[in-house]
Chains A and B, each alone.
Chain A
């Protein structure tokens, strides 16, 4: 495996967690199943993880585990992708570009009242790219709308997601693939960036907890 991945053994050694903790967190959806990439090895079988994502996630879990229950952490790290969130509740969610949300509503590509948490995570992950290099809010909204149509309400939040453009002046697209592996493109494709779905799922989970507590 390459440097972008870390073996399970190395992960356990570096973070000091046990096999039991790792599998408990997998069971509770704190670590997405898609991040467990199995390969045969001389020790019989070895599992690899996307290095940066899993190390960040384990550290975040370790920071929260003394103050939050497993159920609370599960809601933070993997909010149910299909659950509905009112647009009015999204006003205070900072990572989400409100111009993009407005454009999506204007185009009729999204709901005027509710979005699923998977959709919000996607929009928040797309937000940092909006307004850069010809990727305006209208174009981003059209792209989001077509992703929502393709994925239904359940936009996966643990997948790899790459934003790319076909040629320097071409149209914008995204590709979502499970397994946390990065796809390879031909040279005419301009890769703009990787959308941080998992990170934004965490941020949304924390945000929803905060507004629920206030309610």
Chain B
């Protein structure tokens, strides 16, 4: 298998299967790419689907297509025009997914994650900023907190992030999150949460500083 290396400023038709894809310059790549290891340190626009093993983005990447990889690590700024499917997604930078869904076994977010549709993962752990229309899975832990991002963009983040339409998982743990609906079996509504409706089928804990509207289900308050 060959490698694809892009340095300098280039526009190329480079659809194909590669062992290593390394983009260090400024480039526009047309065509579907499958790569065992994809590193983006420069500024890249990819017009096509991206598949394969691992994507490590330290630069700025716009992928106008669907992404299906084992591992996605985003330390830079990545925008995906389609859907994202991966085993593991780690976000320390900014990742925006404009498609209808993100599917993963594990999502760890210490940066900023925006999903315009449904985020469905076995485990979702977010200490950074996360915004999605719906979050569903086995275990969802969202602890919004003040960090370097918030100091930079305090008003914008406050108005946009940590607000959800719908969260549903077997185990849900939230802190400083606003949501219309939270459904789950074991639910912890932590400090400063604002939830309109909670439906719980197991144990429910609500912090005294949280605001919760309607509570339904067969639950035990702890």
Contact = CB atoms under 8 A, between A and B. Distances in A.
B185 A44 contact: no
Contacts of A27: 103, 120-121
Contact of A19 (B103, B168, B180, B196): B168
A210 to B, nearest CB: 28
Contacts, number: 52
A133 interface: no
A68 interface: no
Query: Which of A12, A18, A19, A43 counts the most B-chain CB atoms under 10 A from its CB?
Result: A19
Interface string A9-22: 10010000011110
Nearest to B103: A27
B184 interface: yes
Contacts of A19: 136-138, 168-170, 183-185
A26 interface: yes
A71 to B, nearest CB: 12
A67 B137 CA distance: 23
B195 to A, nearest CB: 9
A9 B181 CA distance: 14
B196 A18 contact: no
B103 A20 contact: no
Interface string A156-177: 0000000000000000000000
A26 B103 CA distance: 10
Interface residues of A, number: 14
A44 B138 contact: no
A45 interface: yes
Interface in A38-64: 42-45
A158 to B, nearest CB: 16
Interface residues of B, number: 25
B18 interface: no
A44 B180 contact: yes
Interface in A173-190: none
A43 B170 contact: no
Contact of A20 (B137, B165, B197, B216): B137
A23 interface: yes
B157 interface: no
A23 B121 CA distance: 8
Contacts of B180: 44-45
A24 interface: yes
B183 A23 contact: no
Contacts of B199: 9, 43-44
Interface string B200-222: 01000000000000101000000
Interface in B175-199: 180-181, 183-185, 196-197, 199
Nearest to A36: B118
Nearest to B218: A13
Given A19-B138, A19-B183, A23-B137, A44 B196 contact: yes
Q: Which 6 A-B residue pairs are closest in the complex by CB-CB distance?
A: A44-B181, A20-B138, A20-B170, A44-B197, A18-B170, A23-B136
27 contacts: A9-B199, A18-B138, A18-B170, A19-B138, A19-B183, A19-B184, A20-B122, A20-B137, A20-B138, A20-B169, A20-B171, A21-B138, A23-B120, A23-B136, A23-B168, A24-B138, A26-B120, A27-B121, A42-B214, A42-B216, A43-B183, A43-B199, A44-B180, A44-B181, A44-B196, A44-B197, A45-B165
